[in-house]
Structure 1
Amino acid sequence: MIDLHNHSNFSPDSNATQNEIVEKAIEKNLLVIGISDHDDLDTSFPYSFRLRDPAGYLENLSLLKSNSPIKVLSGLEVGIGSSYNTPPDGEFDYFIYSVHSIPGINDLEIDNIWTLYLEESLEAIKGLTGPGFFGHIDFLRRYIKGHRELDNLALLDELLRKLAKSDIGIEINTSGWRAPYNEPTPQPWIIERYLRMGGRYITIGSDSHRACDVGSHVEKALSLLLDLGVREIFYCEKGTYMPLKIST
């Protein structure tokens, strides 16, 4: 139905063209496809990525919007942090706000890594308001030995409460179903807590870096949301939340 988190070759970590991503979305019968390449505002950590050719990025997306049979959206995955959280200007439909690093921390095996991640996330969202989506909460499980779960519930609830109050949504990032731990990011119990905090705006993203992964496990995410009592998901068009009813 919808996939708002896809990376093209305007990100240094993908070789997929925007056209290939849209073609795969059409093949998979998606209604809405969003391309959201990396633009990390903090370039001090080793794997930070800045958007290649922002003008060309938006220009090609504009052409795809005009010539595609499905809805194509221009997004950006903005890498935010405690010192950097102002999105760039441009004709973007939406932003995915992602915390990819913790200043001064390179060892993810330390006991309090989740506390540090959540503290950094809380600082990073200060002043931000929706529309937009906070990206892949608990994504550090990809890299922590044993895929240790997020363990500071007090800080997690504070983050989810502030996201909900600021009208910032969250994404169900389906890449976790392609990982060894075989669960979405965030886990279902975190999605439940976001809903209990008054959160409403949930979207789905595959976090694809290859065209073959576009739309992967979207149906699983929709089924999960139905099980949680959610009956609509959201995308953003020209900075406005737009609902899509989940069909049963």
Structure 2
Amino acid sequence: MLTDYHMHTSFSPDSQFDMEDEIRCAIEKKIQEICFTDHVDHNILVNQDCPLKEYRMRYEACKEKYQNQIVLKWGAEFGVQTHTVPLFQKDFDMYDFDFIILSCHQIQDLEFWNQQFQKGKSQKEINEAYYQEIYQCMQLYKDYSVLGHLDAIKRDDPYGEYEDDQVEDILMEILKKAISDGKGIEVNTSNFRYHLSDLTPSRKILKMYYDLGGKILTFGSDTHQKEHVGYKIEEVKEIVKDMGFKEFVTFEKMKPIFHLL
């Protein structure tokens, strides 16, 4: 079964990919199930909030139109910060989501992609702050399904890729918390586009999750355009299978459904 559980459409401010075009592309690539996960990032000047009402209405229309060709699920990627948790709780409580990715894209309303947050900080300060923010958000916000691209700070680190060993303690706490809360992690194939040295998250982090008893894995391309739909997901599934994982999950109404790899 081929799925893609991290997909952005034109409802995300950083994508122009029409939802229906994305569906047709997934069908052409013989993907059986996809989940839309458009960005919601509150308090960010460079982005605008996803119009959730319109996003939901478009999804419902597409779901009905393509119901005999592909399984469609509705989700969002919440770019949570500790001080924006109440805003995301309000969003979640208003809509009937299938799936929520909890990601960290900024701290103190300062973005990573444009180096606003990293400016003037050491590599140690950047990476420790990133993982601490994720861990603190996990204490405050529970209505999510998986942690998104867990070590994504590597792609925006001006010094290069920080070694996982340097933040192993906080990574361990994040993974333990995810498991105890019944949450998962995603394997995000954008690492190939960003030319990172390893998977996202890295093999080390995936092995830590596995050794701790973690079982909830989703796969997502993090697509924003046609050529990235389903990109290398089959290849990455084989990698995690070789690591010992036996299952991956899809979601419906925030409940995980397990499938054999």
TM-score w.r.t. length of structure 2? 0.87
Question: 2:100 matched to which residue of 1?
Answer: 95
8 Å CA contact 2:17–2:224 kept in 1: the answer is yes
**CA-to-partner distance for each residue in 1:47-106, whole Å, 9 max, x for gaps?**
44410x211211111122222211111110011111223341212111000011122672
Question: 2:28 matched to which residue of 1?
Answer: 27
Answer with 203-212 or 178-187: which moved more. 178-187
Question: 2:70 matched to which residue of 1?
Answer: 70
8 Å CA contact 2:82–2:140 kept in 1: the answer is no
**CA-to-partner distance for each residue in 1:135-173, whole Å, 9 max, x for gaps?**
011101111132333421111100110011111110001
Q: Are residues 1:60 and 2:73 paired?
A: no
Q: Are residues 1:83 and 2:83 paired?
A: yes
Q: How many residues matched? A: 243
Question: 2:38 matched to which residue of 1?
Answer: 37
2:139 maps to which of 120, 126, 136:
126
Alpha-carbon RMSD: 1.7
1:1-248 pair list within 5 angstroms: 1-41=2-42, 43-44=43-44, 46-51=45-50, 53-68=51-66, 69-85=69-85, 86-87=88-89, 88=91, 89-103=94-108, 106-107=117-118, 110=122, 111-129=124-142, 132-144=145-157, 145-150=159-164, 151-246=166-261
**CA-to-partner distance for each residue in 1:10-58, whole Å, 9 max, x for gaps?**
11110001111111111111111111000013x14x544410x211211
What residue ranges of structure 1 are gaps of 5+ in the alignment?
none
Give the secondary-structure state (helix, strand or coil) at the position aligned to 2:258.
strand
Moved over 6 A (4+): none
Question: Taking every aligned residue pair, what percent have the same amino acid on both sides?
Answer: 28
What residue ranges of structure 2 are gaps of 5+ in the alignment?
111-115
- Specify which structure has the higher proportion of helix: 2
8 Å CA contact 1:129–1:167 kept in 2: the answer is no
Aligned-pair distance for 1:183? 2.7
Alpha-carbon distance in 2 for matches of 1:91, 1:76: 11
Aligned-pair distance for 1:226? 0.8
Alpha-carbon distance in 2 for matches of 1:23, 1:149: 40
8 Å CA contact 1:176–1:185 kept in 2: the answer is yes
8 Å CA contact 1:171–1:203 kept in 2: the answer is yes
Alpha-carbon distance in 2 for matches of 1:216, 1:154: 32
- Amino acid of the structure 2 residue aligned with 1:106: F
Give the secondary-structure state (helix, strand or coil) at the position aligned to 1:78.
strand
Answer with 123-132 or 77-86: which moved more. 123-132
8 Å CA contact 1:36–1:77 kept in 2: the answer is yes
- Amino acid of the structure 2 residue aligned with 1:60: R
